[in-house]
Amino acid sequence: MDYTKEYSQPTQSMKSSLIRELVASTRNIPGLISFAGGFPSPSTFPKDILSDLYSRVIIEEGMEVLQYGASEGDRQLKEELIKWEGYRGLTPEEMLITVGATNGIYYYAKTFINPGDVILCEAPSFLGSLVTFEAIGAEVHGIDMNGEGIDLEKLQSKITELRAAGKNIKFLYTIPDFQNPSGISMTLQRRKDLISLCEASQLPIMEDNPYSRLRFLNKPIATLYAIARKDFNNSNLVTEIVSFSKILGPGMRLAFVKGPADVISKMESWQQKINVTPDCVTQRVATRFLEKGFMTPHIKTICEFYKPFLNKMLSELDKNMPSCVTWTKPEGGIFVWLWLPENMSADELFVKAKDHKVTFIPGSKFYPTGQEKVNCLRLNFTFSSMQQIEEGIGRLGELIRSQID
């Protein structure tokens, strides 16, 4: 059987992961320092607590959690999440547990997108979501950001332009906190203005929130979901997806969604058909982790762990980069974004950087197809040692300087 002509249209046009290929091309380079990934540090995994919880959950609740669970997710987990996040009036019907955040994003997109429908997003944005949107058949348009978050004038004019062209814009996808890849956090005022704009334009918002708890400095900013509920008369415009990947461990594949009950129920219908239910053992372990009060001190520990690495990266950038290079100064998250001079391509720099035994992800990979910018790149600071950050940023600075001179 020759399968090549049998594949569905989206399967045929699906892109292989460019980042994977890039990372593969740097494999086996001895001494390479990589700022490419988006991995949390394994040192932050609460192994001892989890080991104990897994063991007890199976012994004490195994008859229940080894059985089929509800497609909406574990009710007990939802109740603990409501307590943890401190929402008044939030009901389990407004929540869905998913197999990680990408899974929730897929369900949300499947709920709304017919092929050709438009999704708006920040430019740059999270590559994983972009390829998921494109695989579903969405047309993705990126909106520039500035230091305060998504540019609202550009958003408004894009909405007007696309609607005038008869396009069906289904939602805006945004990562307000420590955005991937830019590290930018949307200001409180920008969040409010964004919701106002979307309310006026009747444009739903999918808020992807993997990093808001990873704040090392200053006070947290309310999520779009919280602001919409509280300051916009319980507006149902926002659906928020919170990942456990950076606060427990990505191997556990767990996230939760808060949104309008009707949207949640449609997403649950997709979950029935795609995964039936998330892993019930993992869900109950997360329940007990929250219930026993481990989450708050654990997140404090992670933040204290990561803070010096961020500081180190920022100070090494200061020390090593020429003045024509700029970068974001996040107060948390896991990424820093760097702008090269206009005429310098990070795609080309990537190739040269391999010879200098340092690597990163070129910024062009984080834009919707056809909207790429090339004079930018992403640096991760949560998976390297202090010494690697010092040496790696030193090598990168030297290379960039050599390209200018």
Under the binding rule (CB under 8 A), the answer on residue 77 touching a copy of itself is no
Return the residues of window 229-268 that contact a copy of itself according to CB under 8 A.
235-237, 245, 248-253, 260, 262-263, 266
Among 84, 112, 294, 305, binds a copy of itself (CB under 8 A): 112
Integer CA distances (angstroms), 12 to 3, 16, 370, in order: 11, 11, 19
C-alpha 223: how far from chain center: 14
The number of residues making up the chain comes to 405
The residue from 102, 328, 375, 384 that contacts a copy of itself (CB under 8 A) is 102
Does 117 bind a copy of itself (CB under 8 A)? Our answer is yes
Of 21, 27, 59, 88, which one interacts with a copy of itself (CB under 8 A)?
A: 59
Stretch that binds a copy of itself, among 112-120, 145-153, 154-162, 309-317 (CB under 8 A): 112-120
Dmax (CA) of the chain: 68
Is 197 or 399 the residue whose CB approaches a copy of itself more closely? 197
**Residue 107 one-letter amino acid:** Y
Asked if residues 250 and 239 have their Cβ atoms less than 8 Å apart, the reply is no
Distance CA 11, CA 7 (A): 6
Which position among 269, 326, 371, 403 is part of the footprint of a copy of itself (CB under 8 A)? 269
Residue 281 found at the interface with a copy of itself (CB under 8 A): yes
User: CA 304, 332, 108: angle at the middle one, nearest 5?
Assistant: 120
Helix (H, G, I), strand (E, B) or coil at 117: coil
Q: In the bound complex, what is the minimum distance in angstroms from residue 365's beta carbon to a copy of itself? A: 15
Q: Is 49 exposed, middle or buried (0-12, 13-18, 19+ CB in 10 A)?
A: middle
Question: In degrees to the nearest 10, what's the CA dihedral of 378, 331, 384, 404?
Answer: 40
Contact between 149 and 187 (Cβ < 8 Å): yes
Q: Choose between 111 and 287: whose C-beta lies nearer to a copy of itself.
A: 111
Cβ 41 vs Cβ 305: under 8 Å = yes
Strands 205-209 and 238-243: parallel
Q: Does 103 bind a copy of itself (CB under 8 A)?
A: yes
For a copy of itself, which is the closer residue by CB, 4 or 28? 4
**Size, binding site for a copy of itself by CB under 8 A:** 79
Q: Using the rule CB under 8 A, is 93 a contact of a copy of itself?
A: no
List of residues 6+ apart from 101 with CB closer than 8 A: 208, 210, 241, 242, 243, 245, 255
Candidates 68, 219, 233, 370: give the one binding a copy of itself (CB under 8 A): 68
With respect to a copy of itself, which residue has the nearer C-beta, 236 or 403?
236
Query: Smallest gap, in angstroms, from Cβ of residue 220 to a copy of itself?
Result: 25
The smaller minimum CB distance to a copy of itself, of residues 14 and 404, is found at: 14
Task: Report the residue number, 252 or 389, with the smaller CB distance to a copy of itself.
Answer: 252
3-state SS assignment for residue 72: coil
With CB under 8 A as the contact rule, which of the stretches 67-75, 76-84, 146-154, 316-324 interacts with a copy of itself?
67-75
CB of 137 to a copy of itself, least distance (A): 10
Q: Which of residues 349-378 bind a copy of itself (CB under 8 A)?
A: none
Q: What is the 3-state secondary structure (H, E, C) of 306-330?
A: HHHHHHHHHHHHHHHCCCCCEECCC
Residues 191-230 close enough to bind a copy of itself by CB under 8 A = 202, 204
Of residues 282-321, those binding a copy of itself (CB under 8 A): 282
Residue with tokens 């950087």: 353
Q: Write the binding mask 131 to 150 for a copy of itself: x where contact by CB under 8 A, - elsewhere.
A: xx--x---------------
Q: What is the DSSP string of 76-87?
A: HHHHHHHHHHT-
Binding mask 149-178 for a copy of itself (x = CB under 8 A): ---------------------x--------
Q: Is 21 in the site for a copy of itself (CB under 8 A)?
A: no
Q: Does 388 bind a copy of itself (CB under 8 A)?
A: no
111 binds a copy of itself (CB under 8 A): yes
- Told to check if 382 binds a copy of itself by CB under 8 A, we report no
Q: Give the DSSP letter of residue 48.
A: H
Q: Shortest approach of a copy of itself to residue 378 CB, angstroms?
A: 17
Q: Which of 114, 146, 189, 402 binds a copy of itself (CB under 8 A)?
A: 114
Count Cβ neighbours within 10 Å for each residue of 329-339 and write b for 16 or more, e otherwise: ebbbbbbbbbb
